[in-house]
Amino acid sequence: MRPRRSSTLGDDPLAAVFPPSSTGPAAHQEVPRSARVVTVGVSLDPEVLERARNAVYWTPGLTLTALATRALATTVDALEHERGQPFPARAGNASLRRPVGALGAEPQDSTAHTI
């Protein structure tokens, strides 16, 4: 179990009333972070990010992670529905960049149109 981080706000005023418990149900069910979530870096349009942050702020219990997960799942479901079937699994640790010719286009010869 990871050590509890200290608050940057000082002592917890409720700690005297409700001391942290190491025997509660959460203590026995803790899952290593790497098994629960995967951190990825993405570039977002600043306006979209601001709207997402506003949605999280005004929706009790919602986190940016939960919102992003829900949005990605909904979008992938829609893409699979349009396609008529789920996407096949990638082979190994394939790159997540768009493969050359992914949309049916022929790869371009880099020497063909040199100026």
Confidence (pLDDT) at 36: 75
- Average pLDDT by stretches of 10, the chain with 115 residues: 61 66 53 70 95 97 95 97 94 68 52 43
| Structure tokens, 5 | 């981080």
pTM attached to this predicted model: 0.52
**C-alpha–C-alpha distance, residues 40 and 52, integer Å:** 17
**C-alpha–C-alpha distance, residues 38 and 36, integer Å:** 7
